[in-house]
Structure 1
Amino acid sequence: MKKRIVAFRRLNEQQIAQLREQFHVDYFPALNGVDDPGFREALAEAHGLVGASLKITPELLDEAPHLEAIASISVGYDNYPVDELTRRGILLCNTPDVLTETTADTGFSLIMATARRVVDLAEFVKRGDWKESIGEAQFGCDVHGKTLGMIGMGRIGAAVARRGALGFGMNILYSYASPKPELEAELGARRCEMDELLEQADFVCVTVPLTPETTHLFGAEQFARMKTSAIFINIARGKVVDERALIQALKDGQIRGAGLDVFEQEPLPSDSPLPHMANVVALPHIGSATHETRTAMAQRAVDNISLALTGERPISLVNEPAWSARAR
């Protein structure tokens, strides 16, 4: 008898067909939330879950007594109770590597767009305000040769730093990460305390995962330490930043601007001032949102769940102890 998989969102026809060769698949391409009655009914019989952007709670796991593995179509896993999954022996898989370069492209595009005021000045032209040669009121700031401070230096952080150092001759500082001697040799990067990084960097780019320790890692104190000419970039998770403190820092001119792909609440509330501020570039969480990368992420998730449910080690495993316990 075939094992059952519940799949939701972001799978193409070929990927669904691949799963159906091995498993019974209940597919919910437009799932709006965990309260969907069809989803709850399928969950009760599921051995595997494949999808993204769904908050998994211990209470929800109680309704899935046969669940063996979850394959998330994401690199972040803050939507999952990892310790609880491990306790229950449920494997959690994610999709690192395949989105690294695409997300780094997004991060560096935010650096360029904020520094050179690309969005603000494109709107300036659209409004018909370009009636004479531009002056200082339309000037931006240089990127090349400046200091890029990376908060986090994992795969994505290193890819952003590599673009800055090798493509734009930027000086690289990094913090909130273990020592990276190979990157230091390759990029001339220097590890330092976060306070020093904030005081020296012209661009501060955040790429840390969301954990209890990194929640509101950035608040009023951190923005106050930054240069008034500095630009803040967040491609990590919105809750890493105290958004009220960021808004105040932007309003008060404590920092020059911000490039944001993530927010504390997503979608961004209509009353948020951030997208209406001239010194902010706000994107709708597009870090990995290209056709090629989203297809590759979904394929990694399909491969992960297929391996996990046939007794083999998944390619990308978050909770190693759950696999170790199973392998004994």
Structure 2
Amino acid sequence: MSKRTLIINTDLENQFIEKIKVVIPDWNILIGKDPQIWQDQLTEAEIIVIRKNEIMDTILSDQSKLKWLQSWSAGVNTFPLKQLEEKEVIVTSANGVHAYPISETIFSLMLGLTRKLHTYVKQQQSKIWDEADVSLEIHKKTIGIIGVGAIGLETAKIAKAFGMKVLGVRHSGKTEEYVDTMYRIEHLNEVLPQCDYVVVTLPLTNETKYLFGTEQFKNMKKSAFFINIARGQIVREDEMITALKLKEIAGAGLDVFTVEPLPENSPLWNLENVIITPHSSGITEYYDQRVIEDIFIPNLKSYVDNKTPTINIVDYRKGY
């Protein structure tokens, strides 16, 4: 009988490889960014941990033996979910590995905008000493977290250290610790007028695509800040730019955009009330460790025991 095959199409430190081998010592394990390592074995792979999607056509072919696909990222919106469902492939995501770095980025953006740190950095470059009319505080304000998953929960927890009132929006409406009031997504426009900060942490799905546009920005306070670390396509970017230019909202901290890298001719680069980061909020020194040790290996142990992986299994109906 031929060996069962696992492919991981990214580089891993030896310590993680050895931990995988302990679970499946008799498998053919192929790991690395170089396609030459695993290219001729793609259709033989029963399990694939996928970082780059270029191999998707091959692993969806009729010859493929794929049973389980582990995404290296939290989002699976770029995956051909319909075809994967038709082939009865189990898909698991890396949801949860970003909770600490992204929540830290969220508060970096919120605090930076509130205390005008981005303005001071620009002034420092020109040796300008000016208070820039700074006056706002984050303490005791209201934050609306649109999408209360792992990232949203960690954000809510931190918000409580600032004495903030926390409003949450999630698909199920299920209540959570650190969230004062939870709403369903259809009540988004009821939440927005209450918020001093609106933070988007939603997955991109058919339901959430272009969820934010002119109507939502008009429903926000003129003094409110908008933070998006989720996906650029959740926002109608041109309508957000208009709202920022007209000062219909106070400012925005943006890590994601409709087109990435953000084009040089985007008006966002030159807006004084915007802080831009290059889709870097999820980067962390612990990324590999969390994907492999917290998600993949526990699921792998279940899989080899003929049980369905349970951590971060993608619901095809929801798209995440």
TM-score band (shorter)?
0.7 to 0.9
Report the Cα offset of residue 10 of structure 1.
Answer: 5.4
Q: Deviation per CA, 1:176-217, whole angstroms, max 9, x where unpaired? A: 44334443xx54335372112222211111111110010010
Amino acid at match of 1:227: K
In 2, Cα distance between the equivalents of 1:295 and 1:140?
41
Q: Name the structure 2 match of 1:26.
A: 30
Task: State the SS of the aligned residue for 1:211.
Answer: coil
Could you tell me which residue of structure 2 aligns to residue 316 of structure 1?
Answer: 311
Q: Which of 180, 185, 188 is the aligned partner of 1:188?
A: 180
Q: Deviations over 1:77-119 (max 9, x none)?
A: 2122334323212111122334323322222222112222222
1:270 equivalent in structure 2: 264
For residue 27 of structure 1, what is the amino acid of its counterpart? I
CA contact (8 A) 2:58 2:64 kept: no
On the 8 A contact 2:93/2:314 being kept in 1, the answer is no
Question: Shift in Å at residue 320 of structure 1?
Answer: 6.5
2 CA distance for matches of 1:239 and 1:53? Answer: 20
Q: Is the 8 A contact 2:30 2:37 kept in 1?
A: no
Query: Which residue is 2:247 aligned to?
Result: 253
Cα distance, 1:308 vs structure 2: 6.5
Of residues 137, 140, 143, the one that matches 1:145 is: 140
CA contact (8 A) 1:199 1:225 kept: yes
The gaps in structure 1 that reach 5 residues or longer are 31-35, 322-328
Q: Secondary structure at the match of 1:47?
A: strand
What count of residue pairs does the alignment treat as equivalent? 309
Which amino acid in 2 is paired with 1:271?
A: N
How far apart are 1:128 and its partner, in Å? Answer: 1.3
Which residue type is aligned with residue 27 of structure 2?
F
Flag the structure with more relative contact order, 1 or 2, with Cα contacts below 8 A and sequence separation at least 6: 1
Matches within 5 A, 1:226-305: 226-300=220-294, 302-303=296-297
How much does 1:265 deviate? 2.1
Q: CA RMSD in A?
A: 2.8
Contact in 1 for aligned 2:303/2:309 (Cα 8 Å): no
Greater shift, 104-113 or 265-274, is seen at 265-274
Helix, strand or coil for the counterpart of 1:44?
A: helix
1:163 aligns with 158
After TM superposition, the structure 1 stretch with the greater mean CA deviation from structure 2, 240-249 or 169-178, is 169-178
Greater Cα offset, 210-219 or 167-176: 167-176
Aligned match of 2:110: 111
**How far did 1:319 drift?**
4.1
Q: Does 1:212 align with 2:206?
A: yes
TM-score by length of 1: 0.82
Counterpart-to-counterpart distance in 2, 1:124 and 1:27:
47
Q: Which residue of 1 aligns with 2:70?
A: 71
1:93 aligns to 2:92 (yes or no): yes
Task: Give the match's secondary structure for 1:95.
Answer: coil
Aligned residues of 1:68 and 1:309 also touching (Cα < 8 A) = no
d(CA) in 1 for partners of 2:302 and 2:62? 20
Report if aligned partners of 2:59, 2:66 keep a CA contact under 8 Å in 1: no
1:259 Cα deviation from its structure 2 partner: 0.8
